[in-house]
């Protein structure tokens, strides 16, 4: 018993020293990062099509016989050669048409300089326009690509900083006919923060790209404000959507302060600089003004949804209620019942799918504290599981 007591004291001292060391390192690291106004980040592109194909190949290798698998590989190689052949053929045809277009431009220029008849000039221009239209038609025949983004929203929509970098990168690199799928998860939060997030998604549509929003779990309130911007919304059967409303909760400690004989003063310039407050006595007129501001925000929210999702009966769904995916599709809140995984796997059959992520190098203090926190959580969970097993065994 004495040994256990001494060991417990030693363990407590060791833990105290470790915690003290962690605090000191965190303070030093934070001081080193204090003067860095902007953390550097970079764009990462992950080819999901290749990953899906690797999984498929691995499954086929295990499920098929050796002869069947060899035959499958032979067939794939033949298809790849045919695709390469067709792509080379298309490239040659495009190059040939570009040369013809260039020659037509030169002919046009020379005829303009020589002041030839307007009829011949118009014919040349028509031929150039025909070549250009054909080129445009061929460009639209391209399969395009699908870019996948992930947005995990908190109350402050803090992931919007990464989202704006990812969208900028896609707009710079994308071509006509490409699509963007955003896997959106958010229960909502601050109005101005989610307003900015929705504006970032609008940039995708303004660039002429098709925007699809996929909701696997929840897109409510500010989350749905973002979702409604999309050309198409898909959701899992039990995903939560809607909650088109505005809420504000403010505690008031006035009676507590008055009970303890504590005075609180607040001075403002402007009749409505402050309406409700946490420490002063709130008046009926202040409450009325505060509710009016909430209602005005709700009106703006509804108008925004009406502008972006014209087919939706906003008056019917803007009650603050939320619905599951199977209910949401009946109300017009979404367009299709489908998970993001199903959409990506189906798309990968025909086009290239890329996941785009903006990574920020976290400060040393944050990385260190996160590692320590994870280790402590694992240790506590291990102890809890052992304690639970012990109780069950004794029972």
pLDDT reported for residue 66: 86
Question: What confidence tier does 132 reach under pLDDT thresholds 50, 70, 90?
Answer: very low
Considering only residues 79 and 302, tell me which one the structure prediction assigns the higher pLDDT. 302
pLDDT reported for residue 77: 86
SS3 breakdown of the chain: % helix, strand, coil, rounded to 5? 60, 15, 25
Cα–Cα distance, 332 to 329 (Å, whole number): 5
Give the mean pLDDT of 55-83: 86
Statement: residue 69 has pLDDT above 70: yes
Of 164-168, 179-183, 280-284, the least confident: 280-284
Give the mean pLDDT of 319-336: 97
Residues designated as active site: 221, 273
- 234 and 335 in contact (C-beta within 8 Å)? yes
| Bridge partners (DSSP) listed for residue 242 | 220, 322
Cα–Cα distance, 291 to 283 (Å, whole number): 13
What percent of the chain has pLDDT above 90? 51
Question: What confidence tier does 267 reach under pLDDT thresholds 50, 70, 90?
Answer: confident
pLDDT reported for residue 88: 84
pLDDT reported for residue 360: 86
If you count DSSP H runs as helices and E runs as strands, how many of each does the chain have, helices first?
A: 13, 10
Give the mean pLDDT of 75-104: 82
pLDDT reported for residue 311: 93
Q: Where are the domains of the chain?
A: 50-140, 146-243+321-360
pLDDT reported for residue 102: 78
Considering only residues 390 and 347, tell me which one the structure prediction assigns the higher pLDDT. 347
Considering only residues 40 and 350, tell me which one the structure prediction assigns the higher pLDDT. 350
Statement: residue 74 has pLDDT above 70: yes
Strands 240-242 and 232-235: unpaired
Distances in Å between the Cα of 130 and the Cα atoms of 95, 123, 127, 236 are 16, 10, 5, 46
Give the mean pLDDT of 140-169: 90
Q: What is the pLDDT of residues 16-58, one digit of tens each?
A: 776 666 666 666 655 555 554 455 789 999 999 999 999 988 9
pLDDT reported for residue 5: 65
Considering only residues 6 and 222, tell me which one the structure prediction assigns the higher pLDDT. 222
pLDDT reported for residue 220: 97
pLDDT reported for residue 268: 86
| Average pLDDT value over all residues in the chain | 83
Give the mean pLDDT of 337-350: 96
pLDDT reported for residue 228: 97
Statement: residue 380 has pLDDT above 80: no
Angle at alpha carbon of residue 98, lines to 92 and 103, rounded to 5°: 130
Statement: residue 135 has pLDDT above 50: no
List the one residue out of 315, 343, 317 whose CA is nearest residue 328: 317
Q: What is the pLDDT of residues 174-228, one digit of tens each?
A: 999 999 999 999 999 999 999 999 999 999 999 999 999 999 999 999 999 999 9
CATH number for the 146-243+321-360 domain, one of 1.40.20.10, 3.90.226.10, 3.40.50.970, 3.10.290.20?
A: 3.90.226.10
- 221 and 298 in contact (C-beta within 8 Å)? no
């Amino acid at each position: 018993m004495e040994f256990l007591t001494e060991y417990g004291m030693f363990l407590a001292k060791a833990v105290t020293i470790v915690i003290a060391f962690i605090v000191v390192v965190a303070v030093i690291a934070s001081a080193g990062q204090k003067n860095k106004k902007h953390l550097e980040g970079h764009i990462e592109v992950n080819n999901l099509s290749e990953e899906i194909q690797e999984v498929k190949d691995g499954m086929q290798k295990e499920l098929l016989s050796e002869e069947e698998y060899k035959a499958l590989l032979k067939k794939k190689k033949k298809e790849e050669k045919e695709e390469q052949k067709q792509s080379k053929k298309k490239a040659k045809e495009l190059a040939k048409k570009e040369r013809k277009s260039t020659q037509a431009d030169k002919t046009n220029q020379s005829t303009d300089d020589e002041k030839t008849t307007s009829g011949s000039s118009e014919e040349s221009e028509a031929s150039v326009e025909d070549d250009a239209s054909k080129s445009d038609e061929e460009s639209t025949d391209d399969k395009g690509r699908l870019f996948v983004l992930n947005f995990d929203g908190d109350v402050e929509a803090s992931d919007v900083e990464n989202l704006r970098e990812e969208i900028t990168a896609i707009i710079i690199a994308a071509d006509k006919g490409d699509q963007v799928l955003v896997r959106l998860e958010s229960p909502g939060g601050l109005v101005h923060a989610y307003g900015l997030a929705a504006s970032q998604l609008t940039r995708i549509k303004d660039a002429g790209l098709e925007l699809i929003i996929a909701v696997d779990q929840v897109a409510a309130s500010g989350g749905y404000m973002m979702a409604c911007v999309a050309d198409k919304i898909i959701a899992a059967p039990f995903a939560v959507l809607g909650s088109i409303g505005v809420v504000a909760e403010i505690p008031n400690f006035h009676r507590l302060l008055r009970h303890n004989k504590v005075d609180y003063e607040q001075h403002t310039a402007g009749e409505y600089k402050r309406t409700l407050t946490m420490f002063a006595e709130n008046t009926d007129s202040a409450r009325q003004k505060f509710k009016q501001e909430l209602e005005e925000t709700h009106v703006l929210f509804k108008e925004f949804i009406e502008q972006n999702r014209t087919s939706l009966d906003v008056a019917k769904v803007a009650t603050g209620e939320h619905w599951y995916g199977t209910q949401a599709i009946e109300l017009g809140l979404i367009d299709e019942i489908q998970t993001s995984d199903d959409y990506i796997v189906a798309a990968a059959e025909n086009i290239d799918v890329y996941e785009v992520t903006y990574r920020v190098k976290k400060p040393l203090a944050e990385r260190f504290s996160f590692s320590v926190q994870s280790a402590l959580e694992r240790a506590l969970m291990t102890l809890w599981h052992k304690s639970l097993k012990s109780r069950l065994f004794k029972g």
